[in-house]
Amino acid sequence: MNPIDDDTLQAYVDGELDAASAARIDVALVHDEVLARRVRQARAVRAQLHAAFDPVLDEPVPARLSALLQPRSMQAAIPATPLVMPAGRHGTGTPRRRTARRWFVPGAALAASVALLAVALWWWLPGGDLVRMQGGQPFAAGALNRALDRVLASEPDADAPVAIGLSFRGNDGRICRTFVLRSPPAQAGLACHESAGWALPVLGAAPPPEGGELRQAASALPPAVQAAVDARLHGNVFDARQERAARDAGWR
Amino acid sequence: MNSSDAVREGLIPLLPRLRRLARALAGQAADADDLVQIVLERALARAAQWRPDAALDKWVFAIARNAWRDELRARGRSQHLFAPEEAGEMAADRASAQPAQQLELAMALAALPPDHREVVALVLVEGMSYGEAAELLEVPVGTVTSRLARARATLQAHLGKDA
């Protein structure tokens, strides 16, 4: 039998071969372990791609997209896109319609954004989004957002998926909190409160806990997160009373 | 029903697949949804060009691919989302096998040349046949096959040795 070339093997895996050619490979697979392995590897790429991208099918479609497909008569009542404030310090204070912005990032910047996507994806996988992107920046979502809003380090909840560490008012006036995700792989980060929610300026892998137990969240910070804390911290971290008062004031 | 309404209604059930395709092409979720927004706006503006005997999904996927290519051309210059040191922080260690493998794959996909990435997105993610992808891309089937083979080899190298 002729050796099976890569194009033919790929066509077999992708269901592109006619029945006779496919049957020939079916037969060869029975006794050709090398061929079987090549088929497995080619299938694995496809399977992993589906595992990576099919969850998008089950995500809720953002309202700004579905709103574009509303009948015209209804569009008057529904903004085509959500209203957001212009980005940060350049803002005029006037809400504007969000428009499709830059989204192509070449080269190294692409790798960087993909690395972020990688971290974000990872967090999304175990169920429920913990990170959402807004204006190209990551923000806390879902259980992480709820924990940052509600959980007090002085009243730790061992069952919560997120452990809160330090809370403090940063040198730009925003309140920041460190956190560690308990479910492996442990991720730690710094969240700073702003009008759009909890921005996540730093995310990183948490050091593995010692002795099989999760240590105090604040002591388990990766160096990048610790450095970000050090850069922002002026004054003291909140004590239990200040932390509660900050929560009651909506972290403003 | 005029063609605009037909396209509008027909696109609603296609949104999840369109978002998945855009994610495979553009990478980041926010970028992908920006691309989807561009595609929807174009599709609605060109609704009169859609012939009801043509499959709406292939028509809109072609718009998506072309919009992505247009953006690649228009935004060819370097734009930095994150400072390099920040990028280092983002690139967290990877501990467990399964998600790590997917992340490797997503990064490898993002690093593919556009010719390869679009074939992977259309055939391996969206599930088009080689012939359908060739028609959409306006290239011979053999070109789709060879691009896919090379892309696959690259991606495969990022999976485990015996995946």
Cβ distance A65 to B36 less than 8 Å, yes or no, reads: yes
Question: What is the H or E stretch that residue B149 is in?
Answer: helix B141-157
Contacts of A65 in chain B (CB under 8 A): 15, 19, 33, 36-37, 40
Task: Please count the other Cβ atoms lying within 10 Å of the Cβ belonging to residue A95.
Answer: 13
ipTM of the complex: 0.84
Q: Which domains does chain B have, with CATH numbers?
A: 3-74 (1.10.1740), 94-157 (1.10.10.10)
Q: What is the mean pLDDT of residues A168-197?
A: 83
Token look-up 């479609």 returns A61
* Cβ-nearest to A106 among B78, B148, B159: B78
Choose from B7, B81, B101, B129 for mutation: most chain A CBs within 10 A: B81
* Cβ-nearest to B71 among A68, A69, A104: A104
Q: For A31-62, b where at least 16 C-beta lie within 10 A, e where not — what string? A: ebeebeebbebbebbbebbeebbeebeeeebb
Cβ-Cβ contacts under 8 Å between A and B: the total is 233
Q: Whole-angstrom Cα distance, residue A128 to residue A59? A: 10
pLDDT at A222 over 60: yes
pLDDT in tens, B2-51: 778 889 989 999 999 999 999 999 877 788 899 999 999 999 999 988 88
Cβ distance A7 to B156 less than 8 Å, yes or no, reads: no
Q: Whole-angstrom Cα distance, residue A130 to residue A126? A: 9
Residue A181 dihedral angles phi and psi, to the nearest 5°: -80, 130
Q: Which tokens sit at A172?
A: 């730009």
B98–chain A nearest CA distance, Å: 9
Torsion angle, alpha carbons of A120, A126, A132, A133, to 10: 30
Task: Please count the other Cβ atoms lying within 10 Å of the Cβ belonging to residue B43.
Answer: 26
pLDDT in tens, B80-136: 333 333 333 333 333 334 466 666 777 788 889 999 999 999 999 999 999 999 999
Cβ distance A118 to B159 less than 8 Å, yes or no, reads: no
Task: Please count the other Cβ atoms lying within 10 Å of the Cβ belonging to residue A150.
Answer: 12
**pLDDT at B147 (0 to 100):** 96
pLDDT at B163 over 90: no
Choose from A5, A105, A182 for mutation: most chain B CBs within 10 A: A105
The dihedral through the CA atoms of B114, B84, A171, A251 has a sign that is positive
Q: Whole-angstrom Cα distance, residue B90 to residue A104? A: 19
Cβ distance B107 to A114 less than 8 Å, yes or no, reads: yes
Q: Whole-angstrom Cα distance, residue B156 to residue B163? A: 9
Cβ distance A41 to B105 less than 8 Å, yes or no, reads: no
pLDDT at A30 over 60: yes
Contacts of A101 in chain B (CB under 8 A): 34
Contacts of A75 in chain B (CB under 8 A): none
Mean pLDDT, chain B, whole residue set: 81
Contacts of B40 in chain A (CB under 8 A): 65, 68-69
Cβ distance A117 to B84 less than 8 Å, yes or no, reads: no
Which residue of chain B has the CA closest to A137?
A: B81
Which distant-in-sequence residues (6+ apart) come within 8 Å of A33 by Cβ?
Answer: none
A203 with B91: CB under 8 angstroms?
A: no
Mean pLDDT, chain A, whole residue set: 74
Cβ distance B99 to A111 less than 8 Å, yes or no, reads: no
**pLDDT at B56 (0 to 100):** 92
Q: Whole-angstrom Cα distance, residue A70 to residue A74? A: 6
Going by C-alpha positions, the residue among A52, A5, A78 that lies closest to residue B23 is A52
Going by C-alpha positions, the residue among A141, A117, A179 that lies closest to residue B81 is A117
Choose from B60, B93, B146 for mutation: most chain A CBs within 10 A: B93
Q: DSSP secondary-structure letter at B121?
A: I
pLDDT category at A184 given cuts 50, 70, 90 is low
**pLDDT at A13 (0 to 100):** 94
Cβ distance B31 to A105 less than 8 Å, yes or no, reads: yes
B72 with A102: CB under 8 angstroms?
A: no
Which distant-in-sequence residues (6+ apart) come within 8 Å of A109 by Cβ?
Answer: B78, B79, B80, B81, B82
Label the pairing between strands A197-205 and A131-134. unpaired
Which distant-in-sequence residues (6+ apart) come within 8 Å of B4 by Cβ?
Answer: B44, B47, B48
Q: Across chain B, which distance is largest between two alpha carbons, in Å? A: 55
Cβ distance B40 to A37 less than 8 Å, yes or no, reads: no
